[in-house]
Amino acid sequence: MFELRKGVFIDELKNVTIKIGEIAEEEEEWEPAGPTLEPGITDLRKWDHRLLERYEPFYAPVQDFCNLCTMGPCDLSFNKKGACGIDLKTAKARLVTIACCIGASAHTAHARHLVDHLIEEFGEDLPIDLGGEVNVEAPVTRTVVGIKPKTLGDLRKALGWAEKEIVKVLHSAHIGNEESPIDYESKALHVSMADHVGMEIADIAQIVAFGFPKAKPDTDLVSTGFGIVDVKKPVIVVVGHNVMYSRPIIDYLERQGKIDEFEIAGLCCTAHDMTRYNSKAKIFGPITYQLRVIRAGLPDVLVSDEQCIRADLVDACSKMGIPLIATSDAAARGLPDVSGWEVREIVDALVSGKLKGVFLPVPEKVGEVAPLVARAVFERNKDRKYRFFANDEELKAEISKCTQCMSCVFTCPHNLRIDQGMALAQKTGDFSKLAVLEEQCLACGKCEQACPRGIRIVNVIMRSNFEKLYSKTGKTRVGRGPIQDTEIRKVGQPIVFGQIPGVIAAVGCINFPDEMKSIVEILEEFLKRKYIVVTSGCHAMDIGMIKDEEGKTLYEKYPGNFDAGCIVNVGSCVSNAHISGAAIKIANIFAMRPLRGNYAEIADYILNRVGAVGFSWGPYSHKAASIATGFNRLGVPVVVGPHGMKYRRAYIGKPWKKEKWWVHDVKTGQKVFIEPAPDSLLVAVETKEEAIVQLARLCIRPNDTAMGRQIKLTHYIELSKKYYGDLPDDWHLYVRSEADLPLKMREELLKILEEQHGWRIDWEKKKIIGGPIRGYDAGFNPTIVDEVFARYRR
Amino acid sequence: MIGKEEKFLPAKRYNIADVQVSREATAVKPAVVANLIKKAENPVLITGGVLLKEPKLVEIAVKFYEKGIPVIATAGSSKPLIEKGVKPLFKTYTLHQITQFLLDEDFKINGKKVDLVVYLGFLPYYLSRMLSALKHFSDIKTIAIDEFYHPHASFSFTNLTKDRELHYAMLEEVLSKL
């Protein structure tokens, strides 16, 4: 650094440039700072350990070995130690931490791309305005980082914090660090909290800069599904998660007045964000629709950006004669960088086939190139669409190659019985068994890699169910972004008291164990029962494909408000932060809890009072791991489908260990033993029946009022009887007084409590006089944070 | 009755990517399964969601119950079982939760620690992870009697996916020898 010494004056300096960097402004004291402003890697360790004491980590290794360094491979089976001294449990905790780092990095890098690009385009003073109904604009960022961002430029500070923490946590995964799985879990929780900050920044930035809907419940309905596009128009398909690169396509076509001459449809979250930008865009479907759409020859050009996109797009597209434009530096795909080329040169190279694809990380050029390429390719070959096979003879010839060797079945993620479908088709020409497979097929293509005869199995399955696949179209309500403060004011109390029995947040990928319609069956059970259902990402678009007998999707049957019996689509993956944000807003707007640097108190409030449960029926990505783990740190339990086991770690409490279930009661100053509610923070289910019952039981919270508990228990018991054929095993644990019992069953249940559980009942008054874990107290004020207890007890 | 050695298919991992397994399940015949159950001090049968789609497995589970093997029903499999008179020890908890409980030294069923678990009717990839947890972190013996060979179990049927009738016959043989 140049220092002004005595005797040197500014006007004497020659050829010196003086740069003034960021002027450090003192953060506005909008709220007194809590104990964990911009928390470091161990600042919330005590909170994590308190959670993990109750919700003990569970490890289910996929492999018995560790191969991460050159001292290995090490056999860690039966919890043996490897060359570095790490045991199997700790190694698995490290692996989950790494997965969460990847997930958090994906969203945060996405945010960084967006914020830097948007500041360049709109300036750093662009105000953060999420509409008149949203004053608490960034609840996660306010709570964690402690800032109240007013402009795009302000988002950089929060982003800087998230990036720093991700690097620090990733560092801890290096060989020779943590010895305790619990401390790795704490780091996984930490980096996943950073993930929610990253998501929030990304979505706020794109909402304010791109003019996405601002917390509007009744956004447009957009076409969704395989058969949505008019094949008589050129089709531009975008795939990935960062709409920044494909947005200019719409701008270009609007400027040219040609938007109605093209079809623009998306795969995965870019599709959501395209429709948030312009509801003329359409949604093909989730990641599992990539090969379906490409092999059907639907796109005339394909634009890829980042995350959850297939790693073989160049190969898949070139086989179908579809030019590919890769845009994100996260996935350059071995393609030549044509950033410096003229638009005409790029178009010529792609249309002529000289290049299978290009790497073009310049959004404005993508906007121009994609339509020009699509038009030319379309004009050249109009009749190639919807052809998994040229004709039925070709299909039959393909099927005839199968020897039922079972290689595909053993490789398939769902172990689908492809062999049986092929055998029936060979013998009788009946494709029905193959057709059924399409409903569950991920179109991952692993079966084709395993097949010794080289059968195009994905194409066979798709073609066999073509009519149904093509007609699986519906409407998705465009992602609305945040939840309004006014909505929180309305539902905050009924959620905390339990009259609204719960919030079910269905988010994540599509590695469903069942047919796609199962997600709708599960969620409708809760919508009919007046739970609030929130959704995003791939779950949200699958819901838009499944229609009832009257041809309506859930979005057309239930309103888009954040209220009982409504379904809210917040938007893409990064919009998930509005769901964690809504939980935080309940603590802040309804309960007046301060946010700034006050994470543990807010999470403790949510754990004990807000009956929200995350649900990922088909978790698949690393991002899903960090999203779920971030919810867990915030005190929100998450239920995952059976493939979620492959994350290898869960957080499951032991309800029979009474000493684990306690809180401080601020009102009485006592340590109170409580019912195990919720009894798991992350748990996998096997069937949709199990998902429904688990979701209902995990909505129960210690703070429920008698009325609230009665409503929650009513649903839990009804659902258990409906799907399990009996009362739940643990319903009595949640009964504090007779007022908690479902009204219609009160007498019957009192009798069971007396006869089977030894409780004492005053039959004259129909009152419980002995037996519950604790009695009901309307002033009960639970916390598991010592400092919160000490502060509010004073 | 299944007796001929040649009727059994070789034990093949259902997921050929699942290659790094330090200790593979011993592939067993029905008679061995029956002996293991008979020798166990406190065995349980855990049933899974496939029972909702395969009535024959419900029938098999009922017979196990009638032979005195306690049943833990997961994933909604309790419903068809209760309809047929079974009283499961648990029906609310997921296999995930039950496995977490089993891993705890203090978890007892009928006052005793469980020493043998028999699994029937699970999605293979879901069960595989649970078997792995018990293999590494407990001394409980596990037997998988589904149609897929399960390398992480202590003992497992071989792959029977090609011949459902053979699978059913093997299950019946286990029951007949209990």
Residue pLDDT, tens place only, A449-506: 999 999 999 999 999 999 999 888 999 999 999 999 999 999 999 999 999 999 999 9
Mean predicted confidence (pLDDT) in A510-539:
96
- Our CA angle for A610, A614, A617, nearest 5°, is 160
Which residue, among B71, B57, B81, B9, has the nearest Cα to B168 in the 3D structure?
B57
**Preferred mutation among B53, B78, B126 to probe A, highest tally of A CBs within 10 A:** B126
Mean predicted confidence (pLDDT) in A280-308:
95
**What is the separation, in whole angstroms, between the first and last Cα of chain A?**
51
What pLDDT does A276 receive?
A: 98
For the stretch A140-198, pLDDT in tens is 999 999 999 999 999 999 999 999 999 999 999 999 899 999 999 999 999 999 999 99
A402 and A423 Cβ atoms separated by less than 8 Å: yes
What is the CA A475 to chain-centroid distance, rounded? 20
Q: Report the 10 Å Cβ neighbour count for A778.
A: 7
Q: What 3-state DSSP class applies to A622?
A: helix
Chain B residue at shortest CA distance from A726:
B79
Sign of CA pseudo-dihedral A695, A696, A699, A701: negative
Model confidence at A18: pLDDT above 70: no
Model confidence at A401: pLDDT above 50: yes
Q: How far apart are CA A447 and CA A540, in angstroms?
A: 28
Model confidence at A24: pLDDT above 60: no
Give the whole-number percent of chain A exceeding pLDDT 90: 91
Rg of chain B over Cα atoms, rounded to whole angstroms, equals 15
What pLDDT does B14 receive?
A: 59
DSSP H or E stretch at residue A671: strand A671-673
Backbone angles phi, psi at A25, to 5 degrees: -100, 140
Mean predicted confidence (pLDDT) in A233-239:
97
Model confidence at A12: pLDDT above 70: no
For the stretch B140-178, pLDDT in tens is 999 999 998 999 999 999 988 888 999 999 999 999 999
Judged by a CB distance cut-off of 8 A, whether residue A643 touches chain B is yes
**Torsion over CA of B130, B134, B136 and B138, rounded to 10 degrees?**
160
User: What single letter denotes the amino acid at residue A68?
Assistant: L
Which residue, among A468, A381, A390, A453, has the nearest Cα to A422 in the 3D structure?
A453
- Residue B150 distance to chain A (closest CA, Å): 12
pLDDT band at A218 (very low <50, low <70, confident <90, very high): very high
pLDDT band at A10 (very low <50, low <70, confident <90, very high): low
Model confidence at A522: pLDDT above 80: yes
Cβ-defined contact of A642 to B123 (cutoff 8 Å): yes
DSSP H or E stretch at residue A520: helix A517-528
B40 and B112 Cβ atoms separated by less than 8 Å: no
**Preferred mutation among A89, A95, A687 to probe B, highest tally of B CBs within 10 A:** A687
**Which token pair is A1?**
């650094």
What pLDDT does B72 receive?
A: 98
Model confidence at B3: pLDDT above 50: no
A488 and A325 Cβ atoms separated by less than 8 Å: no
Cross-strand bridge partners of residue B143: B118, B155
Q: Helical H runs in A178-219? A: 181-210
For the stretch A349-391, pLDDT in tens is 999 999 999 999 999 999 999 999 999 999 987 766 667 898 8
- CA distances to A224, A287, A580 from A276, rounded to whole Å, are 14, 19, 20
Q: How far apart are CA A618 and CA A442, in angstroms?
A: 11
What pLDDT does A22 receive?
A: 53
- For A133, counting Cβ atoms within 10 Å of its Cβ (0-12 exposed, 13-18 middle, 19+ buried), the class is middle
A59 and B137 Cβ atoms separated by less than 8 Å: yes
Q: Strand locations in A255-353, DSSP E?
A: 263-267, 282-285, 301-304, 324-326
- Residue A407 distance to chain B (closest CA, Å): 9
- Residue B110 distance to chain A (closest CA, Å): 14
DSSP H or E stretch at residue A221: strand A221-225
| A78, A409, A643 member nearest B161 (Cβ) | A409
pLDDT band at B1 (very low <50, low <70, confident <90, very high): very low
Q: How far apart are CA A188 and CA A183, in angstroms?
A: 9
Q: Report the 10 Å Cβ neighbour count for B162.
A: 15
Q: What 3-state DSSP class applies to A56?
A: strand
Cβ-defined contact of A680 to B97 (cutoff 8 Å): yes
Inter-chain contacts counted by CB atoms under 8 A, chains A and B: 163
Cβ-defined contact of B125 to A59 (cutoff 8 Å): no
Cis amide linkage into residue A181, ω under 30° from 0: no
Q: How far apart are CA B52 and CA A518, in angstroms?
A: 15
For the stretch A81-105, pLDDT in tens is 999 999 999 999 999 999 999 999 9
User: Poorest-confidence range of A12-21, A254-263, A470-479?
Assistant: A12-21
Region of A537 (left: φ > 0; alpha: ψ -120 to 50; beta: rest) is: left
For the stretch B31-65, pLDDT in tens is 999 999 999 999 999 999 999 999 999 999 999 99
Q: A684: which chain B residues are within 8 Å (Cβ-Cβ)?
A: 94, 96, 126
DSSP state of A574: G
Cis amide linkage into residue A127, ω under 30° from 0: no
Cross-strand bridge partners of residue A664: A671, A783
Model confidence at A209: pLDDT above 70: yes
SS3 content of chain A, % helix, strand, coil (to 5): 45, 10, 40
What pLDDT does B10 receive?
A: 64
pLDDT band at A698 (very low <50, low <70, confident <90, very high): very high
Region of A567 (left: φ > 0; alpha: ψ -120 to 50; beta: rest) is: beta
Q: How far apart are CA A145 and CA A36, in angstroms?
A: 8
**Torsion over CA of A301, A306, A309 and A312, rounded to 10 degrees?**
70
What pLDDT does A63 receive?
A: 86
| A58, A60, A725 member nearest B82 (Cβ) | A725
**Preferred mutation among B129, B131, B161 to probe A, highest tally of A CBs within 10 A:** B129
Q: Helical H runs in chain B? A: 30-39, 55-66, 78-83, 95-102, 124-137, 164-176
Q: Report the 10 Å Cβ neighbour count for A674.
A: 21
DSSP H or E stretch at residue B47: strand B43-47
Judged by a CB distance cut-off of 8 A, whether residue A63 touches chain B is yes
Number of residues written out for chain A: 794
Whether complex ipTM tops 0.90? yes
**Which token pair is A47?**
């909170």
